[in-house]
Structure 1
Amino acid sequence: MATTHAKEPTTAAPAPARPAPRGPRRGWRPWAYLTPALVLLAGVLGYPVLDGLWTSFNHSVMTQPGADEFTGLDNYRAVLSDPELLTALGHTALWGAANLVLQLVLGFALALLMHQKLRGRALFRSVVIIPWVVPSIVVALVWRYLLDPTSGPLNQLLIKVGLFDQSPQWLSDEKLAMPTLILLSTWKWTPLVAVILLAGLQTVPRELHEAAMLDGAGRVQRLRYVVIPGIRTSIALASLLTVGYSVNNFNGIWMFTRGGPAGATQTLTTLAYQFAFTEFDFGRAAAVAMILFAFLLVLSTVYFYVVEGRKR
């Protein structure tokens, strides 16, 4: 009798498990790729800052002997005890705060208009950004002509409509010079703020607006509880840029008033320029520049701490 033997099932050896894919290597290669850019950045930004810091600790007056002599904090003591610095500091604070408030409010209003589905929206957006793209020197020449007290068309128009009896001295009157410069700066830079806020408005989901409308929220409530919280990062970025380029803006003041009349528009940037290229005292000029640099550094640190921390 033939007997059949059942074959025992054979179990194949399990294949060795593949190692899980590792994350990006954190060795020396990423730093090697970044080294050329870091060297270029250090040369373009780092060296001038360090050179200015070193100059601020030296007696560096071209018209006096003993130039480039290390004097420690003497330049900072001289600058901080100078009443002209306190005046320039107050003007800088006023200049930055006024530009921030006006440009944020007007820029937000323009961003809301550009965000609407209006006929000719593309043309409207193009017209809005014209002041921003025009070079500063062209802006200065045009507005100096328009505000000229003798032949300026703006003054002649204001006199014809009866708002003034005689031509206002927009840029040579101590009480009118700073407000005039603030308005011109607002006209020049508000389009940039509007573009930044418009980019933020386009990221707010439409569903949030619809949900708020279903809950009975009106336009003001949607603006307060949906739009503004949704573009908070854009508002913070626009605020940082506005304050930064306002307090650091030299061309916008020097090309119009050169810090005058009688120091009514003197800011930290024009004061540093006066120390360096009028009195040839590069040590005090560097000290003023370092004070301004420290302020901007603190402002940037606060921005990244608040905004980036909130994102995380």
Structure 2
Amino acid sequence: MSTVTNTPVPDVAAPPVGKRRRRLENHGKLAFWLLLPAAVAVFGVIVYPILRTLLISFFQVDSVLAVDTPFVGLGNYASALASPGFWASMGRTLYFTLTSTALELVLGLGLAALLNAPMKFRWLFRAVVVVPWAVPTIVNAAMWKGIFNAEYGAFNAVLLQLGLIDHYQAWLGDPFTSLNMVIVADVWKTTPLVAFFLLAGLTSIPKELYEAARLDRAGWPRMFRSIVLPLLVPSISIVVVLRTVEAFKVFDIIYGMTRGGPANGTQTIAYYTYVTAFSDQNYGVGSALSYLIVMVILILSTIYLRVLRRSGMSLV
């Protein structure tokens, strides 16, 4: 009687271990050389300026060509915090950020609900709504500057025809009024972006929840409070954080509409930093101001996320 032994058959197709190791090493080298240009670009465009700005914030730098730059430590930060202009611009920035973000959130939610409603040519309406966001910010600023013009602005003409005013007014001539007009221009441009963020959250809500609520004879206010708002908390959190960051460092629309005037009435903290660094040639304090902006944004974002998380839990 013969016995059959099961001897393993060598895998002739598998390459030797040394050959596979060399192949992996070649793949690693190829990946390294492919990623190297992107890494150099990221370091040169993002990482190096961040580290360089942090370094400059500890020195007294009064010119781009300055050779003698004494070390002042936290002196630039102390000088920035002691400046009345810093606190005045910070107050205007907080007002701009909170007001514009709140308006964009409310209007964006209403616009998102309208875009989510069943209607004919909904795709066309969605395409038209995104046009304000597609307009470059500097073009948007120039457009609204013309609309609010005291001599030929369309805003004055419309209000005059409606009988709301009896003569043309300089909407960009008063510090507080001009700041609110800049907010109007910013809200007009950014509300479509907020609406599409919230629209993504609305479309993800199961329709069965609405049907169950109708069976319980729940009206739209109750469905909004019990279904829509709790399930939109993640989308709202993203919108609030993104818009807070963008609104807090607003610069281009201020530059295009008012250049920080009149009487520094629209000089936000980002514009104040720009003036300090490039107009006053005080690069050390300007660099310190930029890092103070980052700190404030981190604090505001953390507070927003915690408040929204708690409110979302309570709404559920």
TM-score range, shorter chain: 0.7 to 0.9
Greater mean alpha carbon deviation, residues 59-68 or residues 211-220: 59-68
Q: Secondary structure at the match of 1:255?
A: helix
Greater mean alpha carbon deviation, residues 128-137 or residues 66-75: 66-75
Q: How far apart in 2 are the matches of 1:184 and 1:59? A: 38
Residues 55-134 of structure 1 aligned to structure 2 (within 5 Å): 55-62=56-63, 67-134=68-135
Aligned partner letter, 1:144: K
Alpha-carbon offset, residue 57 of structure 1 = 0.8
Contact 2:156 2:169 in 1 (8 A): yes
- Superposed CA offset, 1:153-208 (max 9, x none): 32123223321122121112123111111111111100000000001111111111
Residues 20-59 of structure 1 aligned to structure 2 (within 5 Å): 36=36, 40-59=41-60
The corresponding residue for 1:267 is: 268
Alpha-carbon offset, residue 252 of structure 1 = 1.4
- Superposed CA offset, 1:107-153 (max 9, x none): 00000000000122112112211111111121122222221111223
The corresponding residue for 1:243 is: 244
RMSD: 3.1
Alpha-carbon offset, residue 301 of structure 1 = 5.5
Contact 1:99 1:243 in 2 (8 A): no
Contact 2:60 2:72 in 1 (8 A): yes
Aligned partner letter, 1:175: F
TM-score of the aligned structures, taking structure 2 as reference length: 0.82
Contact 1:79 1:288 in 2 (8 A): yes
Contact 1:146 1:152 in 2 (8 A): yes
Greater mean alpha carbon deviation, residues 287-296 or residues 61-70: 61-70
Q: How far apart in 2 are the matches of 1:71 and 1:77? A: 10
Larger Rg: 1
Residues 206-221 of structure 1 aligned to structure 2 (within 5 Å): 206-221=207-222
Q: How far apart in 2 are the matches of 1:305 and 1:83? A: 31
Q: Closer, same or farther in 2 for the Cα pair 1:221/1:293, shift >3 Å?
A: same
The corresponding residue for 1:167 is: 168
Contact 2:160 2:167 in 1 (8 A): yes
Bigger helix share: 2
Aligned partner letter, 2:170: Q
Q: Closer, same or farther in 2 for the Cα pair 1:163/1:210, shift >3 Å?
A: same
Alpha-carbon offset, residue 212 of structure 1 = 1.8
Aligned partner letter, 1:57: F
Alpha-carbon offset, residue 305 of structure 1 = 7.8
Contact 1:172 1:257 in 2 (8 A): no
Q: How far apart in 2 are the matches of 1:236 and 1:295? A: 18
Q: Closer, same or farther in 2 for the Cα pair 1:262/1:40, shift >3 Å?
A: same
Contact 2:240 2:304 in 1 (8 A): no
Unaligned runs of 5+ in 1: 1-11, 14-27
The corresponding residue for 1:24 is: none
Q: Closer, same or farther in 2 for the Cα pair 1:261/1:222, shift >3 Å?
A: same
Contact 2:237 2:305 in 1 (8 A): no
Q: How far apart in 1 are the matches of 2:226 and 2:208? A: 14
Contact 1:185 1:252 in 2 (8 A): yes
Q: Closer, same or farther in 2 for the Cα pair 1:33/1:238, shift >3 Å?
A: farther
Q: How far apart in 1 are the matches of 2:162 and 2:267? A: 33
Q: How far apart in 1 are the matches of 2:98 and 2:166? A: 32
Q: Secondary structure at the match of 2:175?
A: coil
Aligned partner letter, 1:107: G
Q: How far apart in 2 are the matches of 1:154 and 1:250? A: 24
Q: Secondary structure at the match of 1:70?
A: coil
Q: How far apart in 1 are the matches of 2:275 and 2:50? A: 19
Q: Secondary structure at the match of 1:110?
A: helix
Alpha-carbon offset, residue 304 of structure 1 = 7.3
> Percent of aligned pairs with the same residue?
35
Contact 1:59 1:66 in 2 (8 A): no
Greater mean alpha carbon deviation, residues 77-86 or residues 46-55: 46-55
The corresponding residue for 1:145 is: 146
Q: How far apart in 2 are the matches of 1:272 and 1:56? A: 12
The corresponding residue for 1:192 is: 193
TM-score of the aligned structures, taking structure 1 as reference length: 0.83
The corresponding residue for 1:292 is: 293
Unaligned runs of 5+ in 2: 7-24
| Structure 1 position 281 matched with structure 2 position 282 | yes
Aligned partner letter, 1:251: D
Greater mean alpha carbon deviation, residues 41-50 or residues 177-186: 41-50
The corresponding residue for 1:136 is: 137
Aligned positions, number: 289
